[in-house]
Amino acid sequence: LSAQRAHVAFRGAPAQLASPRFLLGTVSCTLFLAVNSLYSSSDDVVELTPTNFNREVIQSDSLWLVEFYAPWCGHCQRLTPEWKKAATALKGVVKIGAVDADKHQSLGGQYGVKGFPTIKVFGANKNKAEDYQGARTSDSIVDAALSAVRSLVKDRLSGRGGGYSSGKQSSYESGGSDKKDVIELTDDNFDKTVLDSESVWLVEFYAPWCGHCKK
């Protein structure tokens, strides 16, 4: 019965294409390609594409480390577990993303990717991403990310940088606050904004009449 169905499905095709053996081979190949992706939605690594790259990275205040990879690349495959570990360690502090630059070649070409894997640091100036040249270990990646954060914060303290937010901007916006860099927290939004967030928060508890608070 299965052979007859196969024959009907491939009517007009060569006999070898209609055989159950060929169908099995096709399914196996399809399954192989399906599991060949290095990252999934369950990882802390953000999968970036031409559709979301500008919104997630370029228009964001967050500091990003982005890997441009190819699924078939052995070096990329060996980097994958380290990249995932770094993403988990930096969760809420620095954004970690990955671009399948074999599939999205135009996006890789836009940032001068000539080999795999290529890691770029998108800091204060998103139009001038820096190349990561360190070791491909989670410890080295985390150290480089934290160093980039320190440099970025110092620039901003001296007035040379813009605003920074390691979380989603929409979750920080609250009515009644004119300064988006300092979020006004209340009984109504504290749990949702802080406790339910993956970001690291520094919260000041103050009183408007307190002289030390005013200083």
DSSP 1-43: -HHHHHHHHTTTS-GGGGSHHHHHHHHHHHHHHHTT-S--TTS
Query: What does the pLDDT look like over 196-212, one tens digit per residue?
Result: 988 889 999 999 999 99
Is residue 172 a part of any domain in this protein? Answer: no
The one catalytic residue in 41, 210, 211, 214 is 210
pLDDT value of position 180: 72
Query: What does the pLDDT look like over 77-130, one tens digit per residue?
Result: 999 999 999 999 999 999 999 999 999 999 999 999 999 999 999 998 999 999
The one catalytic residue in 3, 31, 58, 213 is 213
Query: How many folded domains does the chain comprise?
Result: 1
pLDDT value of position 214: 95
**Segment (H or E) for 89:** helix 74-89
**The token pair that represents 56 in the structure block:** 């997630």
Is residue 16 a part of any domain in this protein? Answer: no
Q: What is the Cα gyration radius of the chain?
A: 24
Is residue 61 a part of any domain in this protein? Answer: yes
Beta strands in 64-179 (DSSP E): 64-69, 95-100, 118-122, 130-131
Comparing C-alpha atoms, which of 100, 208, 91 is closest to residue 138? 91
The model scores a pTM over 0.85: no
The one catalytic residue in 6, 23, 73, 149 is 73
Is residue 97 a part of any domain in this protein? Answer: yes
Q: What are phi and psi of 130, to 5 degrees?
A: -100, 145
Amino acid at 200: V
Residue 73 appears among annotated catalytic residues: yes
Comparing C-alpha atoms, which of 16, 132, 3, 15 is closest to residue 63? 132
Residue 76 appears among annotated catalytic residues: yes
Is residue 202 a part of any domain in this protein? Answer: no
* Domain at 112, CATH number: 3.40.30.10
Amino acid at 84: K
CA 45 to chain centroid, in Å, comes to 5
Is residue 89 a part of any domain in this protein? Answer: yes
Is residue 41 a part of any domain in this protein? Answer: no
- Rounded to the nearest 5 degrees, what angle is found at the Cα of 102, between the Cα atoms of 99 and 106? 75
The one catalytic residue in 18, 63, 70, 76 is 76
Please answer whether residues 7 and 21 qualify as being in contact, where contact means their C-beta atoms are separated by less than 8 angstroms.
no
* Segments forming the whole domain that contains residue 106: 46-158
Is residue 90 a part of any domain in this protein? Answer: yes
Query: What does the pLDDT look like over 20-75, one tens digit per residue?
Result: 443 434 333 333 344 468 999 999 999 999 999 999 999 999 999 999 999 999 99
Residue 29 appears among annotated catalytic residues: no
- Bridge partners (DSSP) listed for residue 97: 46, 66
Q: Which residues contact 56 (CB under 8 A, 6 or more apart)?
A: 46, 48, 95, 97
